[in-house]
Structure 1
Amino acid sequence: MAHRPRLVLRPRRGRPQRLAGRGRRVRPRAGPGRRRRQPGAPAVAAEVAGKAGALGFCLGGSLAYGLAAVSDPDAVVSFYGSTVPDQLDLLDRISCPLQFHFGGQDPYIPRDAVAKVEAAVAGRANIEIHVQEQAGHAFHNHVAPMFHNPEAAAAAWRLATTFLTTHLR
């Protein structure tokens, strides 16, 4: 099962906000007997059985990392999450297996910021970090030739699928 949150809220005059195209209400406050859920957070379906993980690219990589800090997924893969270097304090809250991917030539996440992540995760048995030194940002984006790096994408994808297969079986 996959869930792709829709993060754009479109308010309607005089009506509660709904997640675009989904029809689920976004309630600003939790009342008695109601659980509070962040907009865009995946709902857990009762019919889902087995292990569950998260994988995200760019903003999704940051969201997957944040999910690992506030929830207990079975595994998380974060591809070039741009807010990760500024949120290293979340690492102490993460107990699940976590894999990071960055590009060494990323103009949006400079190499020195990636080095801070490398230093912060060193010695943590549940966390891996992989840097495709020759790649920039969004190197896995095959529909954007200006970003796509086929060799880096293939190498990172092999690592990610092996990681997910190991932890989600």
Structure 2
Amino acid sequence: MSQITTETVTIAAKDGSGDFSAYLSKPESGNGPAIVVIQEIFGVNAGLRTMCDRWAAAGYVAICPDLFWRQEPGVDLTDQTEEEWQKAFALYNGFDVDKGIEDIAATIDFIRGHGRSTGKVGAVGYCLGGLLAYLTATRTDADANVSYYGVGIQDKLDEAAKITRPLMLHIAGKDEFVDAAAQAAIHDGLDGHAQSTLYDYPEADHAFSRINGQHYREDDATRANERTAAFFADHLKG
């Protein structure tokens, strides 16, 4: 990995309720487009920080905001113990999606104005973050958005008409949290949308790209990540 620099930054919430932190990873030299990395239910953990660092090594300014800060700042969990899963689901159940999108919008504004940013901003999210990446496409001015196995997108398809910039979805065919009916609804709602591109991974379960996760599938993860990298290169660097 090329030399990168990292820091924790503070972002003001749009509703004036306080500040929240974000992990920021910057490329070795020069400016670059920005990518907002949107957390799973485990908070801004080592896996998400590593993703930011990899994007920075590829020439992007990558930032991962703490979206659970309104409940508990600094959540950093793994998927390795039952106790952590229980806490993660409790945080997920208490999460305000609308406020989360407001905080992502604040993050986009922050990183777009950062001295190392070219002004182009994309977003990529996983699980809960996959839903939020879809809503980032419908509710913010992010330039390109990618959703990995987003949970609950089928319930927000009435917002699809608001998508005006490129969106990519990676769908796990055997997703334990997004059943076949939900997947069919997502396809029905987005397949004909000019800005949307959907990819299916028929044998993959939820979180198939989470390294060291229970359902990690290297071939599918590599394919999805390569598609995402090409997508961002086209829409953020081009």
TM-score range, shorter chain: 0.7 to 0.9
Q: Secondary structure at the match of 1:52?
A: strand
Q: Does 1:61 align with 2:130?
A: yes
Are the structure 2 counterparts of residues 72 and 38 from structure 1 closer, same or farther at C-alpha, using a change threshold of 3 Å?
Answer: closer
1:44 aligns to what? 110
* Deviation >4 Å, runs of 4+: none
Q: How does 1:89-168 map to 2 (within 5 A)?
A: 89-144=158-213, 146-168=214-236
2: CA distance, partners of 1:44 / 1:67: 15
Note the residue ranges of structure 2 that are not aligned, 5 or more in a row.
1-60, 75-100
> Would you tell me which structure has more helix in proportion to its own residues?
2
Alpha-carbon offset, residue 98 of structure 1? 0.1
Post-superposition Cα deviations, 1:63-115, rounded to whole Å, max 9, x if no partner, equal 11111111111100000110211111111111010000110011110122111
1: CA distance, partners of 2:102 / 2:139: 12
- Counterpart code for 2:148: F
Question: Please, what TM-score do these two structures have when normalized by structure 1?
Answer: 0.79
2: CA distance, partners of 1:124 / 1:77: 15
Q: Does 1:78 align with 2:147?
A: yes
Alpha-carbon offset, residue 6 of structure 1? 1.0
> Would you tell me which structure has more strand in proportion to its own residues?
2
Are the structure 2 counterparts of residues 10 and 54 from structure 1 closer, same or farther at C-alpha, using a change threshold of 3 Å?
Answer: closer
Q: Out of 62, 65, 69, which is 1:2 matched to?
A: 62
Q: Secondary structure at the match of 2:110?
A: coil
Q: Secondary structure at the match of 1:51?
A: strand
- Counterpart code for 2:102: Q
2: CA distance, partners of 1:130 / 1:38: 28
2: CA distance, partners of 1:96 / 1:81: 18
